[in-house]
Structure 1
């Protein structure tokens, strides 16, 4: 299993809540992301959408695809394509683990969060396994029960 990485709430720039609903996350990895100057400014402003994104390993390099980073307002001709593929910065052994995990049937690599760490943009990616519809309903039911329990305990104490 990969390490559990939890960024501080104030550094969180974007979160993919749909990923935890649609997938079981098996392991997570923290990756740097190669961005241009106007892209990092847009990321710092929180103009990122991770919802439909995924990662792919090609030629022993990890790439983040289909993640939308809005063009920077003052960027002019220096703005890049909002949906361009961006290189993920990982160690070789992590890339090999990701490749092995993604080759298994039904597994994919999805971005979970984007945040700042020591001034650098980081992406928390997870190796995920797709959920069936009945699993999604079971998860929602369990979540509602936990919320009811917490509400009852709060009223009690």
Structure 2
């Protein structure tokens, strides 16, 4: 097969929710589509979106994402989109059922991790089924990370 020529790099990340990995214990990740208007796609190409404070929830058999900030398109007219409007996520029925059941039964949360363009140019959202961490869990994660860094430093100096 011939290598891909030119064009934008595959999986161009628009926004990354790094805080989610600290505040939540990630159990399962899923790549989903997101229903956008034309001006939203154009605004996303500028790379100024924010998913830091956003969350997803089930409503009437569909999964919606709330509080995602996509700035207004600068060259847009009066038909420009609202920056923080709820947006529908595109999933299969069984995926929606699985997520809704986990949220309802196990008290988990659907958290967005990454917003990016895939290699075909479609806007995709990586969501995770996660459980909120308590303060002591966060401290334990931090201790473990520090210990791993120290271990690697020691191994590097010895070897």
TM-score, with length taken from structure 2: 0.87
Instruction: Give the aligned partner of residue 36 of structure 2.
Output: 35
Higher strand fraction: Structure 1 or Structure 2?
Answer: 1
Instruction: Give the aligned partner of residue 19 of structure 1.
Output: 20
Matched residues, number = 150
Query: Would the aligned equivalents of 2:11 and 2:117 in 1 still touch at CA under 8 Å?
Result: no
Aligned residue for 1:51, secondary structure, equals: coil
Q: Distance in 1 between matches of 2:30 and 2:77?
A: 34
- Structure 2 gap segments, 5+ residues each: 1-8
Query: Would the aligned equivalents of 1:106 and 1:130 in 2 still touch at CA under 8 Å?
Result: no
- Structure 1 gap segments, 5+ residues each: 1-7
Instruction: Give the aligned partner of residue 86 of structure 2.
Output: 85
Residue 133 (structure 1) aligned with residue 135 (structure 2): yes
Shift of residue 11 of structure 1? 1.4
Q: Distance in 2 between matches of 1:53 and 1:150?
A: 35
Q: Distance in 1 between matches of 2:121 and 2:139?
A: 39
Runs of 4+ residues deviating >3 angstroms: 151-157
Structure 1 125/10 Cα, relative in aligned 2: closer, same or farther at 3 Å?
Answer: closer
Aligned ranges 1:27-106 → 2 under 5 Å = 27-106=28-107
TM-score, with length taken from structure 1: 0.88
Aligned residue for 1:42, secondary structure, equals: helix
Moved more, 123-132 or 104-113: 104-113
Q: Distance in 2 between matches of 1:76 and 1:144?
A: 50
